[in-house]
Amino acid sequence: MPALRKTDIVYEEEKAKPFLKWAGGKSQLLPELVERLPFIIKSKNYIENYIEPFIGGGAFFFYLKNYFEIEKSFIFDVNRELILGYKTIKSNCYELIDELYDLQNKYLACSSDKREKVFYEMREKYNHQIKSFDYYNFTKEWIIRVSMLIFLNKTCFNGLYRQNKSGCFNVPFGGYTNPKICDNENIEVVSRQLQNTEIFCADFSESEKCIRKNSFIYFDPPYRPLNKTSSFTDYSKEGFTDEDQKRLAKFYKLLNKKNAYLMLSNSDSQDDFFQKLYNGFKIDKVMANRMINCNGNGRGKITELIITNY
């Protein structure tokens, strides 16, 4: 495994990277996470059983897939749109690439005013489908819907994903000059890296069924907001409250008794909330960049926590 400098990761050609830009993504935190991997994993470049109960954009997952041999992996998320994307790329990446290629060509041929109109028409259509869409039984509509998801992610403001309480995507138009809507090379590599991975749309607690001795589990839950105005936890309509954080801490302690290796990241709130919840475990403070904020003055270095049981 190549050594990492404590800078943002630059993904090499033929290495998988997240197919969506995801608020709270871990690309800039990767050096700190890799540095804290269990010694047995770093020494052998091998993970027998990997579980990620909040997959999100999957930056850490894809890094591990690129540089480590992983015998079996399991990924979870409650966001059904996101999981639809992972499942579709795993099984139907070339059909998805065709859809994205057509969307990209048509969009880039439009004037700037027309592009904005196309964006809002696509967003309206995407949201209109929510109540009637079948997220459980594959049809060709999965491919079309995932292409819409990726299109909206690549062309919306700040390239982020956010839902309101009704589950509707509500990010406005971004107005980028030349967005890369169809990244066919990466989608192909992501599809290959997902082949020995089981994918679940489920609460983090469902991951317990996949855990056995010496499993490595990385928890990346929606971060607890640092203050009342900094909240950005709506990656799914369910949100993630302090009660959910407490429920997760109980789950972490349960898995600790199963002789699994556990790593968790979260915000460094000033009230010692996590220090109390995870008392007795190793808690490291690390510097990280706030990557997504509607106010440019709100971006910059902050401290985050990495909590391990080894």
Distances (CA, A) of 216 to 53, 119, 310: 11, 40, 11
What local confidence, expressed as pLDDT, does residue 239 receive?
Answer: 78
Q: What is the pLDDT of residues 220-231, one digit of tens each?
A: 999 998 765 554
Q: pLDDT tens-digit profile of 275-289? A: 999 999 999 999 987
**Cα-only R_g, the chain:** 19
Q: What is the mean pLDDT of residues 164-186?
A: 94
Give the model confidence (pLDDT) of 6-65 as tens digits. Answer: 444 445 558 999 999 887 778 889 999 999 999 999 999 999 999 999 999 999 999 999
Question: CA nearest 265: which of 292, 285, 244?
Answer: 285
Q: What is the mean pLDDT of residues 62-69?
A: 97
pLDDT of residue 2: 44
Name the band, by pLDDT with cuts 50, 70 and 90, for residue 167: confident
Averaged pLDDT of the chain = 90
Query: What is the structure's pLDDT at 5?
Result: 43
User: What is the token pair recorded at 286?
Assistant: 């690390």
Which residue has better confidence, 310 or 290?
A: 310
d(CA 235, CA 237): 7
- Domains annotated on the chain, with CATH: 27-78+202-308 (3.40.50.150), 82-186 (1.10.1020.10)
Whole-Å CA distances, 165 to 234, 251, 273: 8, 26, 26
pLDDT at 111 > cutoff 80: yes
pLDDT tens digits, 238-273: 679 999 999 999 999 999 999 999 999 999 988 899
Give the pLDDT confidence score for residue 288 in this predicted structure. Answer: 84
Q: pTM of this prediction?
A: 0.90
